[in-house]
Structure 1
Amino acid sequence: MSHTYIPLEQYPRKWIFNHKDLPVSEKDKGHIHPLTQKSAMLVWNKWISNKSSRSEQFDNGDWAAKQDAWKNMDHWQSAWDSEAAELPELLTHFIDWPDNAIVYFCYDKYQVIETTWEVFVRNWKCFLFFDDGPLLISPKQKQAVLFHQNGQYQVGHRG
């Protein structure tokens, strides 16, 4: 699936990757690709939902609405607030993707960012400046992560 991208400097939420307290290297910025709305819709419809446009709208037909899709829940907020750069522990143990795996951080049907697992791991806190139910997926992997605004996240498997 070929995608079209918005240049990072034209992305409406670009400030999350230019925050003075969480600097993103120029090299990493070169691997952070916001998708156009059309490409974001293609990703969302194919791997997340062709019915719902946001995670809080998931219903019975969506894999993410199934109770057995989600294995564990933990808190991301305390790791985000800490000085440490590491991902929350459960996330580190659950995801074993290769560094160069393509990942999609999906805020909603129209806001999706493509990057690599390695770049996401280094800059995960920036992605979570917007925390209203984003999903992290990788097209070639079955694991998925759903982040909640209350500071918790769930790990599970896409259906």
Structure 2
Amino acid sequence: MHYIDINTYTRKWIFTHASMPVPAEDLAQIQPLTQARSATLWREFISSQSPDSDHFGKGDWAAEDKNWTETVEWQAAWDDDEPALPEALADFLDWEDNTPVYFCYEKYNLIETTWAVFKRNWKNFLFFDDGPLLIARKKTQAVWFHSNGTCKIGHRNA
């Protein structure tokens, strides 16, 4: 079993908060991974040495400026009443709606969902904006969100 029940997930409130509840059909597709599975995917796709984005260093693809092509502002769209992703992100991430994506908070805390579910509920995921990364297993595009309201977009090592 690679998933934990959303009802036992410590950050469940970000998806059920009264000001921005995720619809039940989407909530069913937001799957927090076990710590063991999270750590495995983190090592495979993010870093074999750093436990979170604050500690990226030599050897981590995310720490290399050459992998990031642009910095995009996301905070204004998050504060806006419209649910849409910032246009620059939507244009850059031209994934199919059924593409499995991973929202990576840190080594032991990853969430799997689909691109369609993430797009509809991206604001919920960013209640915690302290350096999470958004990736898809078979895609190289990556987004690294920062708490200053910006994110880097680029390509990870496949």
Normalising by structure 1, what TM-score? Answer: 0.97
Letter in 1 for 2:59: G
Quote how far apart the aligned CAs of 1:56 are: 1.5
1:41-94 Cα shifts (integer Å, max 9, x gaps): 011000000010111211110111111100000111110000010001110110
Q: 1:32 is matched by which residue type in structure 2?
A: I
How far apart, CA to CA, are the structure 2 residues paired with 1:46 and 1:152? 25
For residues 6 and 60 of structure 1, the distance between their equivalents in structure 2, rounded to whole angstroms, comes to 32
Runs of 4+ in 1 over 4 A off after TM superposition: none
Residue 8 of structure 1: aligned partner: 6
Alignment match, 1:97: 95
- The 2-side partners of 1:85 and 1:25 are apart by 13
Normalised by the size of structure 2, how large is the TM-score?
A: 0.98
Name 1:25's counterpart in structure 2: 23
**Which of 44, 49, 63 is the equivalent residue of 1:51?**
49
Per the alignment, residue 108 of structure 1 pairs with 106
Q: Secondary structure at the match of 1:146?
A: strand
Distance 1:40 1:76 in 2: 25
The one-letter code matched in structure 2 to 1:118 is: A
**What is the alpha-carbon distance in structure 1 between the residues aligned to residue 66 and residue 88 of structure 2?**
18
Alignment of 1:63 with 2:35, yes or no, is no
Structure 1, unaligned runs of 5 or more: none
Give the number of equivalent residue pairs. 157
